[in-house]
Structure 1
Amino acid sequence: MWFHLDSCNYGYRYVGVTTSPTPNGKFTFLNAFQPDGIPSLDMNLYEENKENEIVSRVYLVKYCNNQYVGISK
């Protein structure tokens, strides 16, 4: 699970990552970081999983300017 990890005054601005064998827990905390060193407040993920593909791709949409460009892979 990806989540917004922060302090009460938005001092961290991290992405938090946890895993669990089931959707309702018990979760294990893995990491907290700022993707590409950039503070993160609103995260959005997009998963591309094509038929017959063994590995899916997940994209973190980290920044969109007025031309809607700037995706981390």
Structure 2
Amino acid sequence: MPYNIITEDGRRRIHHARTAREALEVAAREREAHPDLRIVSSEGTVLPIDRLELMARAEDMASARPSKSAA
């Protein structure tokens, strides 16, 4: 699911991420300069960091699992 990381410092900037892990990395980079950043899913839901961390872990586990076609 795609995510938007929104920061504001006089003007709004939107960083795009394709995965929860990528969104976490962008948020970590931007959080110090922009403590008020928001992470929004493509469905329009504002996600807290702890929820995004859970989603990133789930994505990591899903990608580490062997596919059924490879078995």
TM-score normalised by L of structure 2: 0.30
TM-score normalised by L of structure 1: 0.29
More helix by share: 2
More strand by share: 1
